[in-house]
């Protein structure tokens, strides 16, 4: 039996749907240079990254999966453990690579590149929540 903090995972997956909804709204103006929209895009990306890595960490710790060596590796572990399919994992690794720039280089972010991450984000977060829940369902006997 494993101890997996399902409550915390579910809270984050539920919140990811809210972040996905905001991302869909921001996608309507993804290239707009308005500083308020630019900061909103940055925050949505930051939240999405934290949600993915938090949920991934809960799963890795709870199911005693291989330790991740980096934020990108969290997603790769989930892919290797068949939590995430290859297509979604590739997209999320690309997303998570932006964590450090968003946290440390926030004054010099390439807005045109960040803008390109927004349109698919809502769908990616929805797929992430679905695939995590499917994994938990497949492994419910271990909980």
Give the Cα separation of 9 and 69 in Å (integer). Answer: 21
Phi, psi of 94 (to 5 degrees): -60, -40
43 is an active site residue: no
Give the Cα separation of 4 and 100 in Å (integer). Answer: 28
Q: Which of 24, 25, 87, 99 is catalytic?
A: 99
Give the Cα separation of 88 and 111 in Å (integer). Answer: 23
Instruction: List residues with catalytic annotation.
Output: 99
């Amino acid at each position: 039996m494993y101890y997996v903090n399902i409550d915390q995972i579910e809270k984050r997956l539920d919140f990811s749907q809210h972040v996905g909804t905001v991302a869909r709204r921001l996608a309507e103006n993804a290239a707009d240079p308005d500083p308020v929209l630019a900061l909103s895009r940055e925050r949505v990306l930051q939240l999405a990254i934290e949600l993915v890595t938090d949920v991934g960490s809960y799963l890795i710790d709870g199911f005693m999966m291989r330790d991740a060596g980096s934020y990108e590796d969290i997603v790769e572990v989930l892919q290797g453990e068949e939590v995430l399919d290859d297509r979604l994992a590739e997209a999320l690794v690309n997303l998570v690579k932006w964590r450090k720039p968003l946290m440390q280089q926030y004054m010099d972010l390439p807005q045109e590149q960040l803008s390109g991450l927004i349109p698919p984000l809502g769908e990616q977060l929805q797929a992430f929540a679905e695939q995590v829940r499917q994994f938990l369902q497949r492994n419910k006997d271990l909980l």
